[in-house]
Amino acid sequence: MNNYIFDLDGTIINSSKEVLLCFEKAFERANYVIDKSRLTPNVIGPPLKEIIKLIAPNITEDYIQTVMDIFREIYDYEQNDISEYYDGIENFLHNARLTGKKLFIATYKPEKPTRRIVKQFNMNMFDDIYTIDKFGKHITKTEMIEDIINKYNLKKSETVMIGDAASDVISAKEAGITGIGVLWGYGEDKTELIQNADFVVKNIDELNKKIEILDTNISV
């Protein structure tokens, strides 16, 4: 494979501690009492509004908007982010770059916090970064993949989407490329991811081996 499109949260970066801390602060500032036992990594993954509902099932729409606004104020400008790379992923990305691969990010995260994270973690290996608001309106991950392919004239047979969520591999399928699901990341139930992925890997070693096999099949 010559072209890699990566999801960000749950695939490259484990931001669960940071995100949950910011949610806790946001609810506190909004004067909304929550059951803190609900602040677990399992709520991370859906859009912001849905996460808030998972944390606070009985919350009203007005409070949802208030918590969203406060969360953005905190998270978008966080200077002491406690997120971290998943084991082995940074080396994988650097090695891919050194061998001439094209690297992209396709994330449902907005551009502002994405750029902040990219800068903080010195992710200078990516050719382009696609966020949910890249074009001034919300776009799907399928649309991100298709635009990347068209803009950079990529061969679909040489392009792979790698992510920890079912939406990542489903979007890959819709765009006509290979989808690799990773079993690290967010969410305990990976059933839908496994059902829709072309391949599933448990760690970076398995990802490297799978890429090698795919490369061999392409060159045959």
Instruction: Tell me what pLDDT residue 220 has.
Output: 46
- Quick one: fold of 3-14+85-219? Rossmann fold (3.40.50)
86: DSSP letter: P
219 pLDDT tier (thresholds 50, 70, 90): low
Quick one: three-class SS letters along 193-216? HHHHCCEEECCHHHHHHHHHHHHH
Does domain 16-75 fall under CATH 1.10.150? My reply is: yes
Which pTM was predicted? Answer: 0.91
Give the residue-averaged pLDDT of 25-45.
94
* Per-residue pLDDT, 1: 85
**Distance from first CA to last CA of the chain, Å, rounded?**
13
Per-residue pLDDT tens digits for 46-100 = 788 999 999 999 999 999 999 999 999 999 988 889 999 999 999 999 999 999 9
Q: Would you list the domain boundaries of the chain?
A: 3-14+85-219, 16-75
pLDDT at 158 over 90: yes
State yes or no: pLDDT of 121 exceeds 50: yes
Q: Are 141 and 169 in contact (CB under 8 A)?
A: no
